[in-house]
Structure 1
Amino acid sequence: MNSIERFYATIERRPVDRPACWLGDPTLAAVPALCEFYGVDNVNELKKVCGDDFYAVDIPYESPHCSAIFAAFDWYMNGSNVDTEHRTLTADGCFAHCEDLDDVKAVNFPWPDPEKYISVEECKRRVEEAPADKTVFALMWACHFQDTCAAFGMQTALMNMIEDPEMVHYVDDHIVDFYLKAQKIFLEATKGKVHAMLIGDDIGSQRGLMVSPQVIREFILPGAKKLIDQAHSYGVKIIYHSCGSIVDAIPMLIEAGVDAIHPIQALAAGMDAKNLKEKFEGKVSFCGGVDTQDLLPNGTPEQVRAKVRELRELFPTGLIISPSHEGLQPDVPPRNVKALFDEATKIYD
């Protein structure tokens, strides 16, 4: 099997020669040590040599305020470049003091038009750089719920969802429309060449959901389903991201049509691979499972290999083996990354 065949078989829970594997999207601080260890010059070369079945592509986005689509909204309306490393959902956004929908409209927020800031040619170029046998994986993110929280400030947004949901829906609808248009621009530009997209919203803590199932159903799933349906209309699979313990939300995500759940945060309550297999086998695929909170930074290569063997036994298919957070940190020794891939890419007799 090549990487594309292996991905589709994994995502559709058909037999595979060995699991599909994803390195994730290492942080800038983690890249130099990984490149030095593998003897390569950049992260794209790293993906080619470590055993990664995926070629991740960021959606190109260049506006006066930012260079990342996940930070496209200038919620402080101060015209400054958005700091993607230190931005927060908790600071007051421009709608923080609005008391009703008329107040929200009166803010006159300059909703960005993705058509102005996404280069069709750059979309094509980034995808065409992918090796012919790799799974092209577009990192759309489209975190509309998190954006909505940032627009008000998280505490205010959550209170408004109860006290005046009309305000929240108005803002969220605009955000979802932005991501739908952006996703369409990208998918039209790269038609037939993209295999999967990553979207999602962080809704889990270490112990459970951060918001109620009712909030998820009203404020997260409708927008997510529109994005999922649009991607599916182009034949693109959706891997849905949320950190934390989201075991109670997985049935809703399955209902919305997600193809795989990312990242199986291994130490979060209820997110161990065995529990997920028992609850959801045959209903959805998963991505992740190799703990980045303790095992990868602090374990030995043999402990990492043992965890991968355990995951392969639990999920002979239906699991993309990957670190349990896509953003590998510099505290993860490269030898443990190599141990993960060495064991995951073995073809057992």
Structure 2
Amino acid sequence: QSNYEERTLTTPGFFEDYVKCPDPKRVEDFDWPDPTKYMNAADCKAAVTSVPQDYAIMGVLWSAHFQDALAAFGMEKALVAMLKNPKMFQAVIDRITDFYLTANDIFLKATEGLLDCVLIGNDFGGQKGLMVSPRLIQKFVLTGTKMLIDQAKEFNVKVIHHSCGSIHPLIPDLIKVGADAIHPIQALAADMDAQTLKRDFGDQTSFCGGVDAQFLLVMGQPTEVSTKVRELKKIFPTGLIFSPSHEAIMPDTKPETIEAMFSAIKS
């Protein structure tokens, strides 16, 4: 439509000039987007009712307040701001959190009683460990995460929290703020193998993923995929939603390994 406007905070460097600004109140000078202008409750409900109703239905709220804050400053300058100008970084991430709370309120009210779970998330991990220390995540991020989770649970839905990478040290915090499941098990990331996660957290939360999308589904043989699925079934007799170890089947995945994965899950 000609009157449709699209803006994003994920364009790198939105707040680049704010990194050294001493006054967090300057954040309010920015023309923040208002989700009430762009979200239509009827469209939200229609999107949910249009999908098959004989499966669990998940609403992808995403709500990546940390990732958006990193993008708003630019990654490098955001990391500097967390240490050199923490009040400014906090002001920006709080304002982004407010945006998502408002947007999610519209969606959750429109779809009340229709959803089984929602997905929210931020990417905290790389292949070998967290991108920043647990202390910084606890300081800047988890309060907003808890607000988003608490809001969703007011509508009687389960909350799945996404983060790629090696996030083992952060999982206790995600459980503490209310995550019902952790997505995904990125199988080849450090300390994210299924046995370790089941041992350390299997009685506290559930998991999604575990079928390696970095190598196995791309380069492996169907028989190897079937073997891995059977192994995961033994490790997780309950508490696992089977899926690739990313939020989707990646473009370079072979059709025959996808078929092998689903066949082994159903068998």
The two structures have a TM-score, normalised by structure 2, of 0.95
Task: Provide the residue aligned with 2:237 in structure 1.
Answer: 316
Tell me which of 176, 182, 185 is aligned to 2:97. Answer: 176
Q: CA deviation at 1:63?
A: 5.4
Query: What is the alpha-carbon distance in structure 2 between the residues aligned to residue 229 and residue 106 of structure 1?
Result: 26
Residue 297 in structure 1 maps to residue 218 in structure 2: yes
* Inter-partner Cα distance in structure 1 for 2:189 and 2:221: 21
**C-alpha distance in 2 between matches for 1:328 and 1:177:** 32
Higher helix residue share: 2
Q: May I ask how many residue pairs the two structures share in their alignment? A: 265
Structure 2 residue 196 is matched with structure 1 residue 270: no
Q: Say which of 101, 111, 118 aligns to 1:197.
A: 118
1:283 alignment partner in structure 2: 204
Kindly provide the amino acid, as one letter, of the partner of residue 124 in structure 1.
Answer: K
**Correspondence 1:1-349 to 2 at 5 A:** 64-66=5-7, 72-73=8-9, 75=11, 91-102=12-23, 105=26, 108-346=29-267
Structure 2 residue identity aligned to 1:318: G
Aligned to 1:10: none
Cα deviation 1:55-90 (Å, max 9, x = unaligned)? xxxxxxx95125xxxxx4265xxxxxxxxxxxxxxx
Q: Which runs of 5+ in 2 are unaligned?
A: none
Measured after TM superposition, the shift of residue 104 of structure 1 is 6.5
Moved more, 104-113 or 148-157: 104-113
Q: Is the 8 A contact 2:19 2:81 kept in 1?
A: no
CA distance in 1, matches of 2:139, 2:27: 25
Shift of 1:97: 4.6
8 Å Cα contact 2:27-2:91 kept in structure 1: no
Displacement after TM superposition at 1:96 (Å): 3.6
Q: Deviations over 1:2-34 (max 9, x none)?
A: xxxxxxxxxxxxxxxxxxxxxxxxxxxxxxxxx
- Asked whether the equivalents of residues 57 and 117 of structure 2 are also in contact (C-alpha less than 8 Å), the reply is yes
The aligned amino acid for 2:6 is: H
1:135 is paired with a residue whose SS is coil
User: Deviation at 1:107?
Assistant: 7.8
Give secondary structure in 1 for the equivalent of 2:29.
coil
Identity of aligned residues (%): 49
**Helix, strand or coil: the match of 1:249?**
helix
| 1:289-337 deviations in Å (ceiling 9; x for gaps) | 0000000011111111111000000000000010001132221012211
Of residues 124-133 and 95-104 in structure 1, the stretch that sits farther from structure 2 once superposed is: 95-104
Amino acid in structure 2 at the alignment position of 1:322: S
Tell me, in whole angstroms, the C-alpha distance in 2 between the residues paired with 1:111 and 1:204. 28
CA distance in 2, matches of 1:288, 1:184: 28
- Alpha-carbon deviation of 1:135? 0.9
Distance 1:325 1:106 in 2: 34
Match of 2:185, SS?
Answer: coil
1:329 is paired with a residue of what secondary structure? coil
- Which consecutive residues of structure 1, in runs of 5 or more, have no partner in the other structure? 1-61, 67-71, 76-90
2: CA distance between counterparts of 1:190 and 1:281? 31
Is 1:98–1:104's contact at 8 Å kept on the other side of the alignment?
Answer: no
When the two chains are superposed, the root-mean-square deviation of aligned CA atoms in Å is: 1.7
Report which structure shows greater RCO (CA 8 Å, sep ≥6). Answer: 1
The one-letter code sitting in structure 2 at the alignment partner of 1:73 is L
Cα distance in structure 2, aligned partners of 1:262 and 1:181: 24
What is the CA–CA distance in structure 1 between the aligned matches of 2:79 and 2:237, rounded to whole Å?
Answer: 40
| Cα distance in 1 for residues equivalent to 2:171 and 2:216 | 25
